[in-house]
Amino acid sequence: MNKVLIVGAGNMGEAMLKGWLKANNMLKQVYIREPNPSNWLKKIHNEKKILLNPSNIEGKIDVGIFAVKPQVAEKVILDTKIDLSKKSFVISVIAGKDFNFFAKVFDVPYPVVRVMPNTPVAIEQGVSAIIGNSFSSLSQVNWTEKLFNNLGKTVILEKESQIDAVTAISGSGPAYIFNFAETVIEIGKELGLSEQISKKIVLQTIVGAGLLANNSDKTPSKLRENVTSPNGTTQAALNILMDEKNGWHGIIKSAVFAAHKRSKILAKN
């Protein structure tokens, strides 16, 4: 794909762009529309093959990547129609805007690939779930998968409704982990550690356990068992965390289900 237009370079748009520029292998000519470009974007757009807020784009673009808030999605897509041709396709990371929404806005059958990334894409450690509508080709979905593989891992979904589950798990998931970290850092302080030490051991434990689980051929359950000696310290904590009635399975399930429900409501509105 020669000409790619990114519309919206806020948190997510900029994080994706940073990863793609580092990988430096797929985007030949990048155009960006962003009313409030960051200092980083203002600085790099001259050095890289990027045209920031061009007054007009010569010819048509190959791919339009939309990373704006849902509230402005319709207007932004209508404004961008002029830059798209029958051969182009659209990638949308806009939460809650489903294929029906795009069908209404485009008014003609148009290829759209939805992607649900998460913020660790900023350090190429994200996970992005991908699904194309019935008008998108396998090569368009494959190209999208390759593009997002530069930002971490990808999964191809079987049906659009799975996007709500992904949103509730990996889309919002970094915030759950950050809240877990905040909580345990505070508890470390209550147990007599300095903020600095508590933060360091908590964050490295999350990183280390995540990497271990991701690189191991053992299941998370087996890895947990490996840390747990009978009647030891881990067992004492897990007796509380894994308690059938009051353990954290119930609270985590309620939280993820609440996010899932909210994702579906936002899609409807």
Ligand X SMILES: NC(=O)c1ccc[n+]([C@@H]2O[C@H](COP(=O)([O-])OP(=O)(O)OC[C@H]3O[C@@H](n4cnc5c(N)ncnc54)[C@H](OP(=O)(O)O)[C@@H]3O)[C@@H](O)[C@H]2O)c1
Q: How far apart are CA 263 and CA 162, in angstroms?
A: 11
Nearer to ligand X, 27 or 168 (CB): 168
Q: How far apart are CA 78 and CA 237, in angstroms?
A: 54
Q: Is 69 in the site for ligand X (CB under 6 A)?
A: yes
Q: How far apart are CA 266 and CA 115, in angstroms?
A: 16
Nearer to ligand X, 69 or 222 (CB): 69
* Stretch near ligand X under the rule CB under 6 A, chosen from 22-30, 90-98, 106-114, 239-247: 90-98
Q: Which tokens is 207 given?
A: 């990183």
Least Å from the CB of residue 136 to ligand X: 19
Q: Is 188 in the site for ligand X (CB under 6 A)?
A: no
Least Å from the CB of residue 214 to ligand X: 20
200: number of Cβ within 10 Å: 14
Which residue minimizes CB distance to ligand X? Answer: 10
Q: Is 171 in the site for ligand X (CB under 6 A)?
A: yes
Nearest to 159 by CA among 130, 199, 128: 130
Nearer to ligand X, 178 or 248 (CB): 178
Q: Which of residues 110-169 bind ligand X (CB under 6 A)?
A: 116-119
Q: Which of 1, 10, 57, 160 binds ligand X (CB under 6 A)?
A: 10
User: Do 62 and 29 touch, CB atoms closer than 8 A?
Assistant: no
Least Å from the CB of residue 228 to ligand X: 33
Cα of first residue to Cα of last residue in the chain, in angstroms, is: 33
135: number of Cβ within 10 Å: 16
31 alpha-carbon distance from chain centroid: 21
Tell me which residues touch ligand X (CB under 6 A): 7-8, 10-13, 33-36, 67-70, 72, 76, 93-95, 116-119, 171
